């Protein structure tokens, strides 16, 4: 049966996360409902990357199988019926064995913070009015690149077989308007990992935790040592990277 990848972006403020949950409104539930309205049949969607309640995405994917005719007009029809917070960016026919989760080789996230009240950042950044040393933040971000075991930055009660992650990028920057941005890319992420990294690095940037203590938190492999209090609205899943088999099919206009 033909398989398709569905690319979308969304503002997660009003949703309880990406993947379907009982008694909660999610991105998957909205997309599934609209697909079923258009095609008058049920769809089984598989998600690429879970995002928590309130977290946004510039790019994420579902895949589904169907014998129904899928054309470019489907994008227009989906966007016409979906809420304003969800946008379908593309639909791509891929090899039947492709998997939007398991064929992903890396993902990147961005976290936004701002210092002064800004009505345009309210739902897409964390207002953080405290003085922070950007140099210390970047030293902490650089230390992360030296490690692979991120047990300390995984929320408890998560069902994974390994806490090993390979970080390719980890960097803070100060952008226009005093917006502080953390960018991170890795082959995989653990539950709550980016928010745990940001919250714990901020303690370094404020002088509450030394760089040596930060290393000890990583090496402690204990999630009670990290700070997961970082709110969700500043976090964006920015891109999902795919292997050389799938990537050539994910070209806008080619699906």
Residues recognised as catalytic: 52
- Cα atoms in the 13 Å half-sphere on the side-chain side of 182: 30
Q: Which residues contact 151 (CB under 8 A, 6 or more apart)?
A: 163, 221, 222, 223
Half-sphere exposure of 100 (CA within 13 A, CB side): 26
For residue 123, what are its two tokens?
Answer: 């739902």
* Cα separation values, 160 from 144, 167, 191, Å: 20, 18, 9
Residues 6+ apart with CB under 8 A from 25: 14, 15, 16
């Amino acid at each position: 049966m033909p398989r398709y990848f569905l690319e979308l972006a969304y503002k997660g403020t009003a949703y309880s996360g990406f993947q379907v949950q009982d008694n909660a409104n999610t991105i998957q539930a909205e997309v599934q409902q609209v697909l079923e309205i258009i095609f008058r049949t049920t769809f089984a969607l598989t998600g690429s990357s879970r995002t928590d309640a309130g977290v946004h995405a510039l790019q994420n994917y579902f895949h589904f199988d169907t014998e129904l005719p899928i054309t470019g007009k489907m994008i227009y029809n989906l966007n016409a019926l979906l809420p304003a917070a969800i946008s379908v960016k593309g639909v791509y026919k891929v090899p039947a064995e492709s998997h939007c989760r398991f064929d992903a080789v890396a993902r990147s996230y961005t976290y936004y913070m701002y210092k002064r009240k800004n009505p345009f950042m309210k739902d897409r950044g964390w207002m953080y009015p405290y003085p922070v040393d950007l140099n210390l933040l970047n030293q902490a971000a650089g230390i992360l690149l030296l490690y692979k075991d991120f047990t300390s930055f995984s929320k408890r009660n998560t069902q994974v077989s390994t806490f090993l992650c390979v970080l390719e990028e980890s960097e803070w920057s100060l952008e226009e308007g005093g917006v502080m941005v953390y960018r991170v890319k890795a082959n995989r992420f653990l539950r709550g990992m980016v928010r745990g990294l940001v919250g714990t690095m901020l303690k370094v940037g404020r002088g509450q935790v030394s760089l040596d203590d930060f290393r000890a938190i990583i090496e402690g492999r204990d999630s009670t040592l990290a700070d997961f209090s970082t709110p969700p609205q500043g976090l964006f899943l920015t891109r999902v990277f795919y292997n050389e088999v799938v990537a050539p099919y994910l070209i806008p206009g080619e699906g």
